[in-house]
A and B are shown apart, each in its own frame.
Chain A
Amino acid sequence: MKRRKFIATSSLATAGAITMPYILPSGLLSMTTTPPLSEYVVFVLFAGGVRQQESVLQRYLAEGQNENVEGNIMYNLLTGAPPNDKIAYGQDDTANNIIGGIPIDPILQTPLDQIGTLFPEMRVSKGGAGHFNGLSTGVSGNYYVTQGLRSRPASPTIFEYLRKHAGFKATDCWFVSVGITGSRPLLNYSAHEAYGRMYGGNFIAPTTTFGEPGMAHFMNFKNYHPDTEWEMILEMREFLNQNFQQQGLEIAHLYNEVDEEIKIKEFVRNTFLKVNAGNVTLPPVNDNGDLKTIGYAVEVLNWFKPKLMVVDMTNIDVCHGDYTAYLKNLHRADHGVGFLWREIQRIPEMAGRTTMIVMPEHGRDLEHNPIQDDNDWYAYDHSGNNENTRRIFSLMAGPGIDGNLRVGSVDNPVGDSADIVPTIADLFGVKQLITSQGLLDPAARSLFDRI
């Protein structure tokens, strides 16, 4: 791993890691910090429930539908030839009336597994195979075996760790969500009493914000002059809030500074202009919610240059009732990640300084359910007692991360879904600070430590 080489070949850095305090950009000084490996991290929750068979194993229809067709439909992430028969995962071939018959062109010339490290067999080691459990584990590094929907994670999220212990600003941390259903809007901060809203990350579900609801209730919101009108509003509001302050009650804000709040509003205003002008930076193919969300995530990256952005997807979950649509959305999720990586390299501040991590929140069953689609292919659920749902992969690429490295195998799984939080902390040089809080799953480790 280059990170190890990096530290080993730098005596100063080595000394810093062992004995000398490292000063974080926030000014925070601690003996438990190390030089950051990456300035920015983008974590893609490749969510919706992905079977290993159709993703890293590249089996296409061979294991899912008992048809002898294999191939790689995620060729932006993975190296491998695509299927050569029964193509149903692409765009619809309307001329020949073939659903999904035209594969989407690759965006990346070099698949990410060649410039990054792949953990092809990780495990969701605890909890059920629900989306919320998986997403929560992804952002908190802990498992929730009893929590239901519409509740916040019980232990701190990576956003809270970074804001509280590494001095990140609120707008340094973003959760860009594919929607507002389930617990998604609650994943930007936890219910932990020592953390919570004060250290939360910013959240946006852009297809809602910039869709019909936002157009009806946000678009063209009035722009008050910051030096005159807005200043008076703040003065009067401060007076009113002071008279209510003894209650300790407040609107559920995230402690964005005033200039950050203004920046968020300007982002919303500016993005509405782009939406209306058709100028949002969307992937070449953007025919589902995941890909539109990825496009808006690029807008967030361009506007805020956040140190950490988590973006999630969901369309793959259509697999409960439509296997063909599952293949199409899996192919599109890969398209979205390839697009995201390419766009990151086009942002001068982030190019070459950003690590991207991709991980599904859980897998899907080994055995299909009785539902068949138009191709007579069977659908797959994600059940709690099915070991196949515990099989996931992770891929990370960025500065200092070895390319063409595979760690683990079916017979030797390496990595856990709770590992991403300590891995991100490791990338920012604050792993010890965060692990020492004792709130991660006991088995969670930085993926760098598993190599």
Chain B
Amino acid sequence: MNMQTSGSPILRMLSIPAILCVMMLSSCAEEYYVYGVDDVEITPVNSTKDKPKTHAQYISILYANMFQKAIGPNQMLQALNAIESIGDKQVAYDMLVSKYMNDPEVKIPTVESMRADPETFVRETYKRFLVRQPTEAELQWMINYIDSRPAVTPELIFFSFATSNEHAHY
């Protein structure tokens, strides 16, 4: 016996909500996203400094860092000639910086101020000579060095920065 249901008004009334429910359920289906990680080259903070300063650049920046003023043209010419006259530029820079350290006008923080706030001193020194903030590892190493060596002075630290390879590049 065949039942004819499609024409039943009751069934028709029930089928409409059922379709709506299916539609609603299907509209709430969860979408899945796949997240990836792009390759990123991690470089040191000083990696952009890949150009050596000319002797003139080195001297003028050094002088400004040490004396907080610009070097005069005659002084610059003489300093350039002095540097040029020595073949080993590390030796030449060492002598130039230590000569400046003997100048009464050189601007160096006091030992007391360094020891009172080593972190600020280290951050300022990095900013002054290397034009950047230290990494956390660099900061801790320098603070530990200052703390563990009572004889270390701002002058010696300045000397190290001024004659470091990074200070000679930009």
Contact = CB atoms under 8 A, between A and B. Distances in A.
Contacts of B156: 224, 229, 232-233, 236
Interface stretch (B5-13, B32-40, B97-105): B97-105
A249 B169 CA distance: 8
Contact of A204 (B44, B52, B87, B89): B87
Do most interface residues of chain B lie in helix, strand or loop, or is the interface mixed? helix
B168 interface: yes
Interface stretch (B16-24, B74-82, B108-116): B74-82
Contacts of A188: 87
Contacts, number: 158
Contacts of A264: 88, 91
Nearest to B167: A240
A144 B56 CA distance: 29
Contact of A251 (B77, B93, B95, B161): B93
B152 A251 contact: no
A108 B81 CA distance: 35
A2 to B, nearest CB: 35
A15 to B, nearest CB: 40
Given A224-B98, A243-B166, A244-B166, A185 B87 contact: yes
A221 to B, nearest CB: 4
A169 to B, nearest CB: 12
Contact of A249 (B50, B79, B157): B50
B46 A244 contact: yes
A277 interface: no
B27 interface: no
A175 B90 CA distance: 17
A295 B145 CA distance: 45
A6 interface: no
Contact of B91 (A201, A205, A253): A253
B168 to A, nearest CB: 5
Nearest to B159: A233
Contact of A212 (B78, B83, B149, B160): B78
A247 B163 CA distance: 17
A410 B81 CA distance: 42
Contacts of A212: 78
Interface in A228-279: 228-229, 232-233, 235-237, 239-241, 243-247, 249-254, 256, 261, 264-265, 268
Size bin of chain A's contact surface: 35 or more
Contacts of B52: 249, 252
A237 B163 contact: yes
A241 B164 contact: yes
A247 B93 contact: no
Nearest to B92: A218
B166 A180 contact: no
A204 B82 CA distance: 10
Contacts of B157: 236
B88 A209 contact: no
A261 B94 CA distance: 10
Contacts of B98: 221-224
A83 interface: no
A208 interface: yes
A148 interface: no
A213 B86 contact: no
A170 interface: yes
B151 interface: yes
Contacts of A200: 87
Contacts of B86: 203-204, 209
A246 B47 CA distance: 8
B69 interface: no
B87 A208 contact: no
Contacts of A180: 81, 84-85
A216 B75 contact: yes
Contacts of B91: 253, 256, 261, 264-265
Given A232-B152, A239-B141, A243-B44, A213 B166 contact: no
Contact of A214 (B82, B102, B159): B82
4 nearest A-B residue pairs (beta carbon): A203-B87, A253-B90, A236-B160, A208-B85
24 contacts: A175-B87, A202-B88, A203-B86, A205-B84, A208-B81, A212-B78, A213-B81, A213-B85, A214-B82, A218-B82, A221-B102, A233-B159, A236-B160, A237-B163, A240-B160, A241-B166, A243-B46, A249-B50, A251-B89, A251-B163, A254-B88, A256-B88, A261-B90, A264-B91
Interface of A: 170, 175, 180, 185, 188, 200-206, 208-209, 212-214, 216-224, 228-229, 232-233, 235-237, 239-241, 243-247, 249-254, 256, 261, 264-265, 268
